[in-house]
Amino acid sequence: MGLMAEVSSLIQREAQLLDGNRYSEWLDLYTSDAIYQIPPGYPSAPDDTEGLQTILLDRRKLEDYAHRMSSGHAVVSHPPPRTVRLVSSPLACGESLFSVAWNLHLVRNDESSLFSGRTVYEIATEADRMKIRRKVVNVANDSFSSGYMPLI
């Protein structure tokens, strides 16, 4: 498999695992030093990646997220929302960096919400496997009128 096909497969698999609430497998796609970040602006300005973020999760907090969502005790998951993530083909945008556009359709409480944006992945090899080292998610929505957006 070529590099782009392998990156694309990794990114599509992540979307599929999150849609399926398969959080431990999802977590396994991230390196042990991974960072997941949603900057506050859109498109994010260079100084948006420092200071206060919409969210910034290191590996430990990613594990906390996975645990929270699979614990059966997160009220936001009662009943479990349905999600469909559509992710475009990746484009190389730097050394080990790949950019995608995405849509997230969230269905909960008899309402549906649409989120969209662009993400840059930094890919690394760990234990001979391609993994995500850094994910910077830009969200085009101005506000979250439904009060909830799961990780993309």
User: Measured from the CB atom, is 16 or 54 closer to other proteins?
Assistant: 54
Least distance in Å: CB of 144 to other proteins?
3
Q: Are 149 and 106 in contact (CB under 8 A)?
A: yes
User: Measured from the CB atom, is 65 or 121 closer to other proteins?
Assistant: 65
For the record, the structure tokens of 26 come out as: 């999802």
Q: Which helix (H) or strand (E) holds 129?
A: strand 129-139
For the record, the structure tokens of 48 come out as: 């948006």
Residue type, 70: S
Give, as one character, the DSSP assignment of residue 140: -
For the record, the structure tokens of 137 come out as: 């998610």
Least distance in Å: CB of 74 to other proteins?
5
Least distance in Å: CB of 105 to other proteins?
15
For the record, the structure tokens of 138 come out as: 């830009």
For the record, the structure tokens of 69 come out as: 């969502």
C-alpha to C-alpha distance for 128 and 124, rounded to whole angstroms: 10
Least distance in Å: CB of 89 to other proteins?
26
Least distance in Å: CB of 122 to other proteins?
20
User: Measured from the CB atom, is 6 or 64 closer to other proteins?
Assistant: 64
C-alpha to C-alpha distance for 64 and 88, rounded to whole angstroms: 28
Q: Which residues bind other proteins (CB under 8 A)?
A: 38, 40-41, 48, 51-56, 60-61, 64-65, 67-68, 71, 73-76, 78, 109, 111, 142-151
User: Measured from the CB atom, is 32 or 143 closer to other proteins?
Assistant: 143
User: Measured from the CB atom, is 21 or 40 closer to other proteins?
Assistant: 40
